[in-house]
Structure 1
Amino acid sequence: MATKRLLQFSLSLLTRQAHARSQVGLWIDAGSRFENDSNNGVAHFLEHMIFKGTSKRSQTSLELEVENMGAHLNAYTSREQTVYYAKCFSKDLPQALDILSDIIQNSTLGEQEIERERGVILREMQEVETNLQEVIFDHLHSIAYQGTPLGRTILGPTENIKTINRNDLKEYISTHYKGPRIVLAAAGGVNHDNLVKLSEQYFGNITAGYDSEIPISAPCRFTGCDIRVRDDDMPLAHVALAVEGCGWSNADNIALMVANTLIGSWDRSHGGGANLAGRLASNSARGNLCHSFQAFNTCYTDTGMWGIYFVSEKLSIDDMIFNIQNEWMRLCNNVTDFEIQRAKNLLKTNLLLQLDGSTPICEDIGRQMLCYGRRIPLPELDARIDAVDAETIKSVCTKYLYDQCPAVAAVGPIEQLPDYNLDKKVKLTMIAFLGDFTLTPVSSSSYFDSVKPLRNDSLI
């Protein structure tokens, strides 16, 4: 069971006691979504700079101190969050907290280190560009959320990386690293009361107020359209399709998680064939439709993307998309209680397996505190999943999938990818026949209608 405390300086503290080793981290409500066109990439740049020395510790002494503890210090940046965390022995927890508080409050951000780190980030960008899955999802965000903060990449454009300076970094810290936007999470061999005292000692100087207007993330609209990067020299096509999903705290999110689990994933290299439980996996194996696919449900504060990413031969793209549409329409119209029960069991199993160890537990605590304002107990989450039935899935999926405008991103030999503008002239309708259904194309002004307004029903 996790224990929560709101400290006097508005920083939230949550702990879960379990083992002799511990993980402690800072989850900050700040990521690339809180940037603009001119400073896009500053949150990620700051993540790199935060370990380059403080007013109390040089970079060398910081690295030696962490190594002598046998600890691990790391960080990552996403579109809505920045995380700094340390893994250490429980006896070294005070020292780990001292280091974490020092790096976010007293980093020197030296000019020489900034110039050196530009090259590191540019090389990282080159590595990212070789990972086609990351490239596809960056493209998908860029078109689905075009003209909004979520459409920007986390690393930022090359020109920004070359021009971000010390003032940009300090301004980002002073604007976003405030008590109410920070969660201190810990798991493992942690005593909650002791951690409260240590937190007040090391983080008591973090301010809670703002000198000027409080920064608020702008609403991000979802736009259905496509982006295609055709390269016939590539051996395989990489394609992602997504419709607008919902935010973390939306009441529909649990049903979409179950639907996402029902679609599932499959990889030819992992074995399994026509006898797989999932229909899309079985059809993919039997018909040689793709090399792999992965359903996804990406959530943000007020919006999300629900869809599928697949890798296939160029001549199989059209057949794969047809089968995906088939499965999506089944969710809206013809899914059975037996399938839903199987998906719910698998979802609960996956959620439990993801909490194996202090590291994923700490991650879960920090993320849920930022997203929900509390950590949802497992019995409550289990009950929410159990409440989903076939009718719930049909209703929710009809709302989010049927007659909605998808975003499509594709890279590789994609000549066979159906033309988006041609598809806009066709409307897919669902007709149920004796427990099965067919997809019948009929003339329509537009299959891709306007995106409906967001719902903000609380999951809490």
Structure 2
Amino acid sequence: VPKRFQSTATAYKQALINVPPTSLTQLDNGLRVASEDSGAATATVGLWIDAGSRYENDDNNGVAHFLEHMAFKGTSKRSQTDLELEVENMGAHLNAYTSREQTVFYAKCLSKDVPKAIEILSDIIQNSKLGEVEIERERGVILREMQEVETNLQEVVFDHLHSTAYQGTSLGRTILGPTKNIKSLTRQDLLDYVSSHYKSPRIVLSGAGGVNHEELVKLAGQHLGGLSTSYEQEIPSLLSPCRFTGSEIRVRDDSMPLAHVAVAVEGAGWTDSDNIPLMVANTLVGAWDRSQGGGVNNASHLSAAAAESNFAHSFQSFNTCYKDTGLWGIYWVCDPLMCEEMLFNVQSEWMRLCTTVTEAEVARARNLLKTNMLLQLDGTTPVCEDIGRQMLCYNRRIPLHELEARIESVSAKDVRDVAMKYIYDRCPAVAAVGPVENLPDYNRIRSSMYWLRL
């Protein structure tokens, strides 16, 4: 560290070490309670459940998301109106979302209302009424949501990317499920999914902000201590590995104004030691949008090329992780006849990562990655989400100073090594929607994943 920055660097290191610790307790039934008490006036508490669309099959695909919708439609203790009034009167926010590997229910409230919020959350996941009338009404809501998703082309492209990259496996299915399933899922399908997957060892009660850990543990024992660990039906099998297949899917539509393209290779899972260097490599490629300043003076080579020659309207590099696999790649939006030019620049940048990336670039990417990670933890809800997700993925919360040290230890050689391992001469998965006639044939894309040079 240069002399003029030494005092700042010391203060930064101390700030990382002085964040409130994450307390962890496991109840007798296997449910984990994890929290970070920052003494704030507000708090976020939530239930992170190790169950998402990856745990479904072809017949019940969409059931996890359907359950999330049914959660706020009333329980055996309170009707939907009572539930909504209770939350509104507290001035709290109740929300939920479903991903491919996790289902989450959380509440944001004043710290004094945490006991009430936990009681409501535990009631929702244990005693949801799942009434036939509400199920029928919610089918229409989900079908409308599917129509909305169809208009978000980024989501459409990423769903296609998963369906081709993980074809024939559970990660290839969408979270919302196919229309025929939404129309045919029954109350029994919902009950079967809950009894198979909502088990206490697979649930984490996470809290952040003005939360007292001992109080959380007491509340968890009181409201969630009755969650069972035994199975009434057949015990669900362990997750089978999801095979990655280099392949492509193109939905050509020349009436659309812009082409939307995603290209990805198989990345690393959450717990893989290559994950941090891959995140640094991902940050090196970066993200760019036409509306940003900087243009040709951008540090990212790809941003400079895109700005100077108008190759794309926007692009973003991504590193999506799952338990045992991941997708590392790039998504871009461009004019109809710019697909080939943009692809050439993307693959040239990838080859540069594999061969000639410099220490100065990697140092910049490390700093940017650290900044982005700390900015993402700004507020009680992101911290609560970070705790819940890390408990399910790593079975612990990685302290900020450890994460910073792991990022800081990544050198240019490490980036070149992981890029050689995951990118160089690997079969990519490609998904493209819109006027994509100009996108080269898959064999040409594959043949640009390596260099023949003397």
Q: Quick check: TM above 0.5?
A: yes
Partner of 1:60: 81
2-structure distance, mates of 1:359, 1:172: 27
Q: Write out per-residue CA displacement over residues 340-375 of structure 1, whole angstroms, 9 at most, x where no aligned residue.
A: 000000000000000001010000000000000000
C-alpha separation in 1, matches of 2:350 and 2:452:
11
Q: Secondary structure at the match of 2:345?
A: helix
Selected match of 1:5 from 25, 41, 44: 25
Distance 1:221 1:387 in 2: 31
Alpha-carbon distance in 1 for matches of 2:275, 2:306: 27
Match of 1:265 in 2: 287
Question: Which amino acid letter does the alignment assign opposite residue 131 of structure 1?
Answer: N
- Note the C-alpha offset of 1:154: 0.2
Q: Say whether residues 1:309 and 2:353 are aligned partners.
A: no
Partner of 1:281: 303
TM-score (normalised: structure 2) = 0.94
| Equivalent in the alignment of 2:441 | 419
Q: Counterpart in 1 of 2:275?
A: 253
Where 1:13 maps in the other structure, the secondary structure is: strand
Which residue type is aligned with residue 6 of structure 1? Answer: Q
| Residue identity matched to 1:225 | S
Question: Which of these residues, 300, 322, 328, is aligned with residue 300 of structure 1?
Answer: 322
**Per-residue deviation, 1:215:** 3.4
* CA displacement at 1:209 relative to structure 2: 2.7
Deviation at 1:316, TM superposition (A): 1.1
Q: CA deviation at 1:25?
A: 0.2
User: Which structure 2 residues correspond to residues 57-456 of structure 1 after superposition, within 5 A?
Assistant: 57-211=78-232, 212-423=234-445, 428-429=450-451, 431=453
Q: 1:245–1:410: structure 2 CA closer, same or farther, 3 Å change rule?
A: same
1:16 Cα shift?
Answer: 0.6
Question: In structure 1, what is the Cα distance between the partners aligned to 2:124 and 2:308?
Answer: 54
Q: Does 2:72 align with 1:51?
A: yes
The DSSP-based 3-state class of the residue aligned with 1:242 is strand
Cα deviations across residues 273-332 of structure 1 (Å, max 9, x unaligned)? 100111100111011110000000000000000000000011111110000011100110
SS in 2 for 1:269: coil
Q: Which has the higher helix share?
A: 2
Q: Which amino acid is the alignment partner of residue 315 of structure 1?
A: L
Q: Distance in 1 between matches of 2:218 and 2:203?
A: 17
SS in 1 for 2:291: helix
- Relative to 1, partners in 2 of residues 1:240 and 1:427: Cα closer, same or farther, differing over 3 Å? closer
Structure 2 CA distance for aligned equivalents of residues 65 and 159 of structure 1: 35
User: Identity of paired residues, percent?
Assistant: 67
Deviations 1:118-150 (A, max 9, x none): 000000000000000000000000000000000
Report the CA distance shift for 1:424/1:24 in structure 2 as closer, same or farther (over 3 A): closer
Decide whether the 8 Å contact of 1:175 with 1:215 is kept in 2. no
Q: Distance in 1 between matches of 2:346 and 2:269?
A: 23
1:27 pairs with 2:48: yes
Task: Calculate the aligned-residue CA RMSD, in Å.
Answer: 1.1
Deviation string 1:192-216 (CA, Å, 9 cap, x unpaired) is: 1111111100101101233442432
Alpha carbons of structure 1 residues 116 and 372: separation in structure 2 relative to 1, 3 Å:
same
The C-alpha deviation readout for 1:220-248, integer Å capped at 9, x for no partner, is 00001111111111111000000000100
SS at 1:308's partner residue? Answer: strand
TM-score (normalizing by structure 1): 0.92
Question: Aligned equivalents of 1:423 and 1:386: distance in 2?
Answer: 33
| CA distance, structure 2, for counterparts of residue 7 and residue 92 of structure 1 | 22
Residues 229, 410 of structure 1: 8 Å contact kept: yes
